[in-house]
Amino acid sequence: MKRLGEEGRPLRLTGVVRTIGSNCLVILLTTLALGHLHLARAQGPADRAWAVLQGGLAERGAEDRAAAVRVLGLLENDPKAPDLALKALEDEKPEVRTAAADALGQLKAKGAGPSLTKVLLSEQKEVSVILACARALIELGDNRAYGVYYAVLTGERKTGASLVETQKKMLSDPKKMAQFGFEQGIGFVPFAGLGYDTFKMLRKDDVSPVRAAAAKMLTKDPDPRSGIALVDAASDKSWIVRMAALETLARRGDARVIPQIEPKLADEKGAVRYTAAGAIICLSELKPAPARTN
């Protein structure tokens, strides 16, 4: 049945429907826009930091992934960190697996023991992965992993059995052993897993590694001037120093520096961005530090 107007003519609803439909669409789009704006405003530094870190973990470049994975070692109070590191332990690239093992060791991830042991026993090509797994297992209290270092020193296992030829070749590779020796000798974990190209670059720059190591040594210095110096160093021209300063700030545990280091989430160097992200996430999980009194 047709609806009639006041003069008996059919009532035309097409224009009305179109108008209502257009208005609804405008309202819907406005609501969505406001929702996105509210969400963006609701995101705090930790949310943005996680977005940066997750982006690093999904990068196509192995060096970026390794840098992001390494940062997981800072997140001792985050339940997601061990799971992400365990996933990275299966990565196809050795530098990522090395970084994952180091992160699991720093996290004291007890449940990671079987996975680390499996990788250690199955690895046939990369000494850095084997030794990183051994380091992590020692951190987890598995003294059997010392046997790996014994084998490196003596060329045979503690049982008296000789190493197989592939393992001997691997442990006698000067390039691989030079990288590992540098990583261990400098005593600065952020270099681990960053690749041999980084190692070669650092050999040409004698100053940055020393300054980075100096930044690390300020971790437990109670003097507030050290905190200020580390915040300044987070903007140093050397990305190695920036990375070291950010990691040290994370370990110092003063959440008040978050606004000052938040701009480093946009640093030009991926390793620095991911370290800044890890530092912010770590510090965001801490209780605010009490105000200092003179």
Residue 283: band (very low, low, confident or very high) from pLDDT cuts 50, 70, 90:
very high
Q: 26 lies in a domain? A: no
- Please give the residue that has the higher pLDDT: either 12 or 189: 12
Residue 169: band (very low, low, confident or very high) from pLDDT cuts 50, 70, 90:
low
Predicted local confidence at residue 132, as pLDDT: 86
Asked if residue 74 has pLDDT above 70, the reply is: yes
In whole angstroms, what is the distance from residue 236 CA to residue 57 CA?
Answer: 25
Q: 236 lies in a domain? A: yes
Percentage with pLDDT > 90 across the chain: 43
Asked if residue 255 has pLDDT above 90, the reply is: yes
Asked if residue 185 has pLDDT above 60, the reply is: no
Q: 61 lies in a domain? A: yes
Asked if residue 49 has pLDDT above 90, the reply is: yes
Q: Which residue segment(s) compose the domain that 107 sits in?
A: 45-284
What is the chain's mean pLDDT, rounded?
77
Predicted local confidence at residue 287, as pLDDT: 59
What global pTM score does this model have?
0.70
Q: What is the mean pLDDT of residues 129-143?
A: 88
Q: What is the mean pLDDT of residues 68-96?
A: 94
- Our count of domains for the chain comes to 1
Predicted local confidence at residue 69, as pLDDT: 95
Predicted local confidence at residue 238, as pLDDT: 87
Residues 6+ positions from 231 with CB-CB distance below 8 Å: 245, 249, 257, 260, 261
- CATH at 219: 1.25.10
> For residue 255, what are the CA distances in angstroms to 17, 266, 284?
56, 19, 6
Predicted local confidence at residue 211, as pLDDT: 78
- Residue where the block lists tokens 């510090």: 283
CA angle in degrees (0–180, nearest 5) for 171-176-179: 130
Q: 97 lies in a domain? A: yes
Q: What is the mean pLDDT of residues 278-285?
A: 94
Q: 9 lies in a domain? A: no
Predicted local confidence at residue 101, as pLDDT: 94
Q: 144 lies in a domain? A: yes
Q: 25 lies in a domain? A: no
In whole angstroms, what is the distance from residue 188 CA to residue 236 CA?
Answer: 18
Give the model confidence (pLDDT) of 217-247 as tens digits.
788 888 888 999 999 999 999 888 899 899 9
Asked if residue 80 has pLDDT above 90, the reply is: yes
Asked if residue 40 has pLDDT above 60, the reply is: no
Q: 221 lies in a domain? A: yes
Predicted local confidence at residue 173, as pLDDT: 62
